[in-house]
Amino acid sequence: MRPAHWLGKPSKTSARKFASQLGVSPSTINRILNGQSRITPAMAERISKLVNLSPASLLTLQEMQDRWQERLRNAA
């Protein structure tokens, strides 16, 4: 499950607003939401201030995503 599912899939406008609130570019948020970039500890801290998830929860979800992707690569 990609980060867009954990955070709610925002429209382009709300993704821009979300990026602005985090102080990052919209492309950064889009890469995270689409699973192309990982949520780092620093980004988890920022995101946790805007959503109802702790930084630890966000990093756990990222770790689960990483493991899932690894399983898919190994199965191929």
The reported pLDDT for the residue numbered 11 is 63
The answer to whether 33 and 2 are in contact (CB under 8 A) is yes
| Three-state DSSP class for residue 3 | helix
* Reported confidence tier of residue 24, pLDDT bands at 50, 70, 90: very high
Whole-model pTM?
0.80
CATH number at residue 13: 1.10.260.40
Give the total number of structural domains in the chain. 1
Q: What is the pLDDT of residues 54-66, one digit of tens each?
A: 999 999 999 998 9
* Kind and range of the H or E run holding 2: none
Domain of residue 48 covers: 3-75
